[in-house]
Structure 1
Amino acid sequence: MATSHPEYNEKTSATDVASAFASQIHNKIVVITGVGPNSLGEALALAIGGQKPSKLILASRTEAKLLEVAEKVQKLSPNVSVEAVVLNLASQKSVHTAASKIQSLVDRVDTLINNAGMMVLDRQTTEEGIEVQFGTNHIGHFLFTNLLMPQLKNAAKVSGPGLTRIINVTSAGHRLSPIRFHDYNFEGKKVPIEERPPEGLPPMFSPSAEGYNGWLAYGQSKAANILFTVYLSQHLANSGIVSYSVHPGSIWTGLSRDLDDAGYETISKTSNVWKNADQGAATMLVAAYDPALAAVSDPSAIYLSDCQFAKTAPHAVNADSAERLFRLSEELVGIKFAL
């Protein structure tokens, strides 16, 4: 499987991708999470907003920052309807409230871009007591996506197969850890070998005496983003909805706001190519709007990086793990979802 623009790469901008796929964006209703000033979410909103979508719904936890971006989009694209919805993914109550607000605004969602993410080094938990990176990066988006499923299915009924899409933003960091089904909260419980991190990682990736390591917890949450995509792509094909998972590349964003000096040093060594936000958002728009991606032919072919398909760690595309993660996620939100 290939994209329709093999020349796109790490230098391609979201602005250029949106322009190339303008006809796919025109009149669409788009929901983007993780929107704030100088972020990937802002870059997405500006690029999409410039191509005449029907409505842009921007969701994030800080209303003032949301409104700042909404006003910027509105100024540059005055004919686009822009809505700001407060969404704290670390609170399931907030997720329910945000989803209800969106359902009151629109009866369909053509594109859902689950872009929000966080990375912390010290143990924190969500309102429900879930390790905060797993709880925010995966569980929050899991609940949000499933609550909006009626709107997504409504869109697919009128748009045609493969034009309604769910984009889950992940990271190359997914390679650091599979899902620790026996210890997803990193509480020091014993896990089988297949749930342990890969061998040969530097000492900084070793769990503390209490069992926690922020890097591994981040890796687990990013593996979860891809496995969720695998499950969605398998179970929504008959509804005409496709899902892709995207690694934006290396970008200095608010994601790294909680890192210490050692964390910054580690991150700085992870890439030789550093992107600006417009370049970082480009792969998400290829996944969301490239007509060549209207079907998933292979459940493992759902991951893109630098605007092209890429390989994941095997643990991130295991169909059994995807099924198991979906069931665990249902338990953690207290709702069964029949796709």
Structure 2
Amino acid sequence: MTSHPEYNEKTTATEVADAFSDRIRNKNVVITGVGPNSLGEALALAIAAHSPAKLILASRTKAKLEEVLKKISTGRPEMSSKIELVILDLASQKSVREAVAQILGCIDHIDILINNAGLMMLKQEFTGEGIELQFGTNHIGHFLFTNLLLEKLCREVGSSQGEAGSTKIVNVTSAGHRLSPFRFQDYNVDGKPVPDEEQPPAAMIAAYGKVDTYNGWIAYGQSKTANILFSVALNERFRSRGIVSYAVHPGSIWTGLGRNLDEQGTEILAKTGTYWKSIDEGAAPMLVAALDPALDGPPEPNRVYISDCQIAEAAPWAIDTDAAKRLFELSVELVGIDTA
């Protein structure tokens, strides 16, 4: 249970940051996907109000980062020297490595990492490495980014700074993970045959179409499943190093996430929400995951998913420990790194 069971879909990131101000002060925080009128901006504004030691904001576009920096600095000029802007294109492993090199050079440790960036699209596209773009950006880019930052994330448990939950990694997922399990046999969603356990539920196929060719909805769904499986794997692998990870559904929000959808896709997306949040409300559950001391203990897989600021139930395929291990191993192959 969280410290604030009264928090819900209308709770704001501003409220959460105010409640846990002491958990932000003098901490080093990294946020991806930061741009104007985005969840990343709402996160940055809420955190900047409570004197972090360093706030590292990452995005593909320098102009967008500078706009957010200006907004923060207008209200809190003392934060200007504490903010580092990092160009990060998660669809490019070269860009990820360059961004990590910049971050490693400016801080000695990371207390909170919020993997917030993401995209949604219906047309099949690929990263420079030939990986389906939604999977490649939403999961693989963040997987590489996180693993290359591990030396700044891990602590020795039992030391003064190494208690459980001394580092929080928040992976932003979606209720869209219910669209599909991860397709190990067809991760580029080319329409190849997959085992029954990797098939989308019949109701999802009825609503969003078969997967005999590329299906953007199913591709998005498996990438969001991957975000949750990544948190499960991080908790399994690095709990002895102080890392605790949660996967968070922000809720239904109109942001730039759906900018690549056509008119029909936008209409379908509009029907998926009953309460549409502000960006301040959408950012709140990420801050609950990052800051609430009641969530410092490594969660069991069935408690890794947060929605509307509370622990929620994820689809069974998204919290399967065997699938989490398989995905971690596949991801290692796709990015070509050695892991602890």
- Structure 2 length-normalised TM: 0.96
Residues 297 and 256 of structure 1: CA distance in aligned 2, closer, same or farther (over 3 Å)? closer
For 1:322, the equivalent position in structure 2 comes to 324
Q: Aligned with 1:138: secondary structure?
A: helix
Give the whole-Å Cα distance in 1 for the aligned partners of 2:50 and 2:154. Answer: 23
For 1:130, the equivalent position in structure 2 comes to 131
For 1:293, the equivalent position in structure 2 comes to 295
Q: What one-letter code is carried by the residue in structure 1 that aligns with 2:337?
A: I
Q: How does 1:171-210 map to 2 (within 5 A)?
A: 171-201=174-204, 203=206, 205-207=208-210
For 1:76, the equivalent position in structure 2 comes to 75
**1:271 maps onto 2:270 in alignment:** no
Deviations, residues 49-74 of structure 1 (Å, cap 9, x unaligned): 00110010000101110111112112
- Structure 1 length-normalised TM: 0.97
Q: Give the superposition deviation at 1:78.
A: 2.0
Q: Give the superposition deviation at 1:77.
A: 2.1
Question: CA contact under 8 A between 1:108 and 1:154: conserved in structure 2?
Answer: no
Q: How does 1:1-339 map to 2 (within 5 A)?
A: 2-80=1-79, 81-154=82-155, 158=161, 160-201=163-204, 203=206, 205-207=208-210, 211-338=213-340
Q: What one-letter code is carried by the residue in structure 1 that aligns with 2:187?
A: Y
Q: Aligned with 1:112: secondary structure?
A: strand
Residues 265 and 35 of structure 1: CA distance in aligned 2, closer, same or farther (over 3 Å)? same
Q: Give the superposition deviation at 1:42.
A: 0.1
Give the whole-Å Cα distance in 1 for the aligned partners of 2:250 and 2:156. Answer: 26
Give the whole-Å Cα distance in 2 for the aligned partners of 1:143 and 1:201. Answer: 30
Q: What one-letter code is carried by the residue in structure 2 that aligns with 1:23?
A: D
Q: Aligned with 2:276: secondary structure?
A: coil
Q: Give the superposition deviation at 1:144.
A: 0.2
Give the whole-Å Cα distance in 2 for the aligned partners of 1:291 and 1:93. Answer: 36
Give the whole-Å Cα distance in 1 for the aligned partners of 2:46 and 2:251. Answer: 18
Give the whole-Å Cα distance in 1 for the aligned partners of 2:323 and 2:266. Answer: 32
Q: Is there any run of 5+ residues in structure 1 with no aligned partner, and where?
A: none
Give the whole-Å Cα distance in 2 for the aligned partners of 1:125 and 1:280. Answer: 28
Question: CA contact under 8 A between 1:109 and 1:155: conserved in structure 2?
Answer: no
Give the whole-Å Cα distance in 1 for the aligned partners of 2:281 and 2:208. Answer: 29
Q: What one-letter code is carried by the residue in structure 2 that aligns with 1:6?
A: P
Q: What one-letter code is carried by the residue in structure 1 that aligns with 2:38?
A: S
Give the whole-Å Cα distance in 2 for the aligned partners of 1:235 and 1:154. Answer: 13
Q: Which moved more, 1:184-193 or 1:156-165?
A: 156-165
Question: CA contact under 8 A between 1:95 and 1:140: conserved in structure 2?
Answer: yes
Question: CA contact under 8 A between 1:230 and 1:322: conserved in structure 2?
Answer: yes
Deviations, residues 145-170 of structure 1 (Å, cap 9, x unaligned): 00000001159752632131000000
Question: CA contact under 8 A between 1:109 and 1:152: conserved in structure 2?
Answer: yes
Give the superposed CA RMSD.
Answer: 1.3
Divergent runs of 4+, >3 A:
154-157
Q: Give the superposition deviation at 1:308.
A: 0.3
Q: Give the superposition deviation at 1:208.
A: 6.0
Give % identity. 60
Q: Which moved more, 1:152-161 or 1:71-80?
A: 152-161
Give the whole-Å Cα distance in 2 for the aligned partners of 1:159 and 1:320. Answer: 27
Q: Give the superposition deviation at 1:296.
A: 2.3
Question: CA contact under 8 A between 2:162 and 2:241: conserved in structure 1?
Answer: no
Give the whole-Å Cα distance in 2 for the aligned partners of 1:294 and 1:177. Answer: 29
Deviations, residues 166-218 of structure 1 (Å, cap 9, x unaligned): 00000000001111101100122111111110112254522465x20000000
Question: CA contact under 8 A between 2:229 and 2:318: conserved in structure 1?
Answer: yes
Q: Is there any run of 5+ residues in structure 2 with no aligned partner, and where?
A: none
Give the whole-Å Cα distance in 2 for the aligned partners of 1:221 and 1:208. Answer: 15
Give the whole-Å Cα distance in 1 for the aligned partners of 2:156 and 2:101. Answer: 17
Deviations, residues 282-307 of structure 1 (Å, cap 9, x unaligned): 00000000010011242221110000
Question: CA contact under 8 A between 1:74 and 1:82: conserved in structure 2?
Answer: no
